[in-house]
């Protein structure tokens, strides 16, 4: 009797310890109310034995790089790639070369931290740090080998980009004007006087120290890049300062007018008066003749219509041009045909 009770008790105990296989004996399992859930094995040392598909949490690895999967029998592999350390990498961007992930500083045409990156060059060519003025654009300066702010067009001046850099004037500071920065041996800035052409092959600068008024930038008839003014101005390399000028000389090629106030160039004081296509037509009238000589138009009397005074002929057969005349105290002489003179006596009345 006692043995039967003992067997029954033990049998009941065994049934109470039976484990449930959740894979086949459960439905819609919800662990959200559990105090803790640990679906992975964990520790600081990988289990020596594993089969494909097992997961292990390595508790002493860096955050983001501590979950490993068994990818082959007894082989543990990091799942995913952890991020590199952020310390010491402020302002850098996270990038990959296709194999590794790393923090990298900006390069190429950009510099500085991402939040305040600066374009320091365009396609590997440096950009001037000079602040642009109203109406300017970036223009390549072969003389300085960099992109610089220059005037493209303005006022009644040129408007085609191919001539925009020719003798352009820009305010680079309160006291300095840049003139023709793009002019070089390979890209000369030319000015024509009739059939004569002058070339400017280097830039210049005009500095002001005092005065209020206008500066007139022009090419003189002798080919000099000139800054005429009624201010206190000096030219550094490539130009000549000429005081007492209040307008463009009539024998000059005008380029720019720039105003100044109290010893400083006005920020928006530039007036572009360049003109790539221009001409000065001189038409001779009755009795006048014109001819271009060394870039200048010379006007003279037409000897076929106006008699030119000549020296008193020694004989009536002295060479002469028809219509030429001469006089002395006794006679008035006239050339009636080539090499033939006539004269008449002079008398008081």
- The 8-class DSSP code of residue 191 comes to E
Looking at residue 301, its pLDDT comes to 84
What average pLDDT does range 141-150 have in this prediction? 82
Arithmetic mean of pLDDT, 203-226: 94
* pLDDT mean over 156-182: 79
- pLDDT value, residue 153: 47
Instruction: State how far the Cα of 227 lies from the Cα of 218, in Å rounded to an integer.
Output: 7
Q: Regarding beta strands 232-236 and 204-210, do their DSSP bridges make them parallel or antiparallel, or are they unpaired?
A: antiparallel
Q: For residues 14 and 11, what is the distance between their CA atoms, to the nearest angstrom? A: 5
Query: pLDDT by residue (tens digit) across 285-295?
Result: 888 888 877 76
Does the pLDDT of residue 9 top 50, yes or no?
Answer: no
Helix (H) or strand (E) holding 20: none
Q: Are 179 and 204 in contact (CB under 8 A)?
A: yes
**Secondary element (H or E) of residue 15:** helix 2-16
At residue 66, the pLDDT reads 86
Dihedrals φ, ψ of 221, to 5°? -65, -10
Q: What is the DSSP secondary-structure string of 67-118?
A: EEEEEETTEEEESS-PPPP-TT-TT-EEEE-SS-EEEE---TTEES-GGG-E
pLDDT per residue over 103-130, tens digit each? Answer: 887 778 887 777 778 888 888 888 888 8
d(CA 60, CA 48): 17
What average pLDDT score do residues 15-25 get? Answer: 60
Q: How confident is the model at residue 21 (pLDDT cuts 50, 70, 90)?
A: low
Tell me: pLDDT of 327 over 90: yes
Predicted local distance difference test score (pLDDT) of residue 72: 94
CA 298 – CA 280 distance, rounded (Å): 13
Given a cut of 90, whether residue 276 has pLDDT beyond it is: no
pLDDT: which is higher, 164 or 2: 164
CA 253 to chain centre: 26
* pLDDT tens-digit map of 177-187: 999 988 888 88
Percent of the chain with pLDDT over 90: 38
Residue 81 banded pLDDT, cuts 50, 70, 90: low
Listed residue (115, 89, 116) closest to 101, CA to CA? 89
pLDDT of 277 above 80: no
Q: What are 325's two structure tokens?
A: 């005349």
User: In DSSP terms, which residues pair with 105 in a beta bridge?
Assistant: none
For every residue of 153-177, DSSP letters joined together read --TTS---GGGTTTT-EEE-SSSEE
Tokens standing for 131?
A: 């602040």
Confidence band for 5, pLDDT divided at 50, 70 and 90: very low
Residue 228 has pLDDT above 90, yes or no: yes
Indicate the pLDDT class of residue 152, thresholds 50, 70 and 90: low
β-strand 264-272 against 146-151: which pairing, if any?
unpaired
pLDDT > 80? residue 279: no
Residue with tokens 């592999």: 77
């Amino acid at each position: 009797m006692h043995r039967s009770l003992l067997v029954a008790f033990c049998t009941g105990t065994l049934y109470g310890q039976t484990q449930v296989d959740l894979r086949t004996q459960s439905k819609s399992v919800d662990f959200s109310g559990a105090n803790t859930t640990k679906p992975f094995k964990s520790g600081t040392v990988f289990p020596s034995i594993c089969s494909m598909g097992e997961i292990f949490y390595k508790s002493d690895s860096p955050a983001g790089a501590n979950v490993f999967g068994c990818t082959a029998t007894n082989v543990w592999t990091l799942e995913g790639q952890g991020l590199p350390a952020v310390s010491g990498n402020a302002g850098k961007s996270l990038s990959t070369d296709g194999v590794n992930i790393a923090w990298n500083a900006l390069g190429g045409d950009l510099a500085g931290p991402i939040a305040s990156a600066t374009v320091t060059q365009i396609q590997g060519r440096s950009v001037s740090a000079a602040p642009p003025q109203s109406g300017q654009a970036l223009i390549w300066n072969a003389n300085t080998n960099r992109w610089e702010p220059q005037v493209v067009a303005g006022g009644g001046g040129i408007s085609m980009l191919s001539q925009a850099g020719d003798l352009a004037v820009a305010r680079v500071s309160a006291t300095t004007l840049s003139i023709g920065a793009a002019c070089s041996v390979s890209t000369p800035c030319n000015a024509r006087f009739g059939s004569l052409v002058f070339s400017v092959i280097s830039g210049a600068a005009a500095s002001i120290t005092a005065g209020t008024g206008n500066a007139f930038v022009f090419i003189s008839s002798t080919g000099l890049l000139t800054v005429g003014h009624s201010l206190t101005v000096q030219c550094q390399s490539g130009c000549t300062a000429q005081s007492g000028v209040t307008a463009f000389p009539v024998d000059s090629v005008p380029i720019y007018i720039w105003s100044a106030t109290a010893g400083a160039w006005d920020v928006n004081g530039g007036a572009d008066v360049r003109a790539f296509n221009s001409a000065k037509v001189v038409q001779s009238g009755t009795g006048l003749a014109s001819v271009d000589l060394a870039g200048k138009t010379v006007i003279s009397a037409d000897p076929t219509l106006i008699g030119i005074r000549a020296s008193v002929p020694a004989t009536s057969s002295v060479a002469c041009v028809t219509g030429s005349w001469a006089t002395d105290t006794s006679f008035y002489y006239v050339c009636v045909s080539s090499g033939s003179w006539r004269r008449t006596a002079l008398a008081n009345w």
